[in-house]
Amino acid sequence: MMRTLILLAFLLIFTGCLSPIQDLYPPNEEDRPVPVYVVSHGWHAGIAIESKYIQHLLPDHPKMPEGRILKFGWGDLRYYSEPDAGFGLMLRAALLPTRSVLHVVATDLPIERYFYTSRVIRIQISHAGAEQLGIFISDRFRRDEDGNIKFVADGLYSNSQFFEASGHYYLPKTSNTWTARALRQTGYPITPIYGLTSGNVIKQALKEGYSIQ
């Protein structure tokens, strides 16, 4: 227990003020023409981007949703993909390392219209940052020995699906810290270890992002 606390303290000290990665996230916004969106649904947050920037990096699957904008979320396999999940599944997901899923949502609507009840923050990133985000997301799909990904269940929206993901879900490794990690791949100055709540992810996203809803 003491070693865990020391490790957490070390991480807080040395990752507490992460700076932009300037090769990916240049200071001039004119050099960051690609919009990326952090979407908060209350308890958890996800990340969205126009599909044209990352489609070529995503794995092929007949169930993969298609649309102008793709939004990704990561979470516990049973709790996230179960429409009627109750407190027991939520507690299990929080306390025990459990298998995870990626939720992929596609839409042709503006992101703020599709998720009209959610908080949406727009951040401008570079093409190189978008490429790194696409690689990060692609690598989060769990693959079998033949390199294929596995469909789990229909998603929470009309054009969305769940796929098996890599990594185990447990506190403090949550959907929100995953979203913060995804955004960090773009070079954005966000500290994932602080992103335990969607509110904190939004707060960090607003440092250089714009609230569009």
| Contact of 77 with 83, CB cutoff 8 Å | no
Highest mean pLDDT among 40-44, 75-79, 131-135: 131-135
The one-letter amino acid code at 155 reads: G
| Contact of 174 with 11, CB cutoff 8 Å | no
Mark out the alpha helices in the chain (DSSP H runs): 2-15, 77-81, 87-95, 111-114, 127-139, 175-184, 198-205
- The pLDDT value given to residue 77: 83
In which band, very low, low, confident or very high, does the pLDDT at 13 lie, cut at 50, 70 and 90?
A: very low
Split into its structural domains, the chain has a count of 1
- The pLDDT value given to residue 74: 95
In which band, very low, low, confident or very high, does the pLDDT at 97 lie, cut at 50, 70 and 90?
A: low
| Contact of 58 with 138, CB cutoff 8 Å | yes
Note down the domain range covering 91.
2-211
The per-residue pLDDT of the chain, averaged, comes to 87
**Residue 37, SS3 per DSSP:** strand
Give just the sign of the alpha carbon dihedral 170, 171, 176, 178: negative
Residue 202 has pLDDT above 80, yes or no: yes
pLDDT 10s digits, 71-81: 999 998 876 65
pLDDT 10s digits, 151-185: 999 999 999 999 999 988 877 788 999 999 999 99
Residue 6 has pLDDT above 50, yes or no: no
Q: The sheet that has 160-169: what strands, in order across it?
A: 151-154, 160-169, 98-107, 69-76, 45-50, 34-40, 119-125, 210-211
Instruction: For residue 191, give both structure tokens.
Output: 């500290």
Highest mean pLDDT among 6-10, 29-33, 84-88, 94-98: 29-33
200 or 89, which is more confident? 200
- The pLDDT value given to residue 96: 53
Per-residue pLDDT, averaged over 87-111, amounts to: 73
User: Measuring CA to CA, which residue among 104, 52, 54 is closest to residue 75?
Assistant: 104
**Across the chain, which distance is largest between two alpha carbons, in Å?**
50
The one-letter amino acid code at 69 reads: I
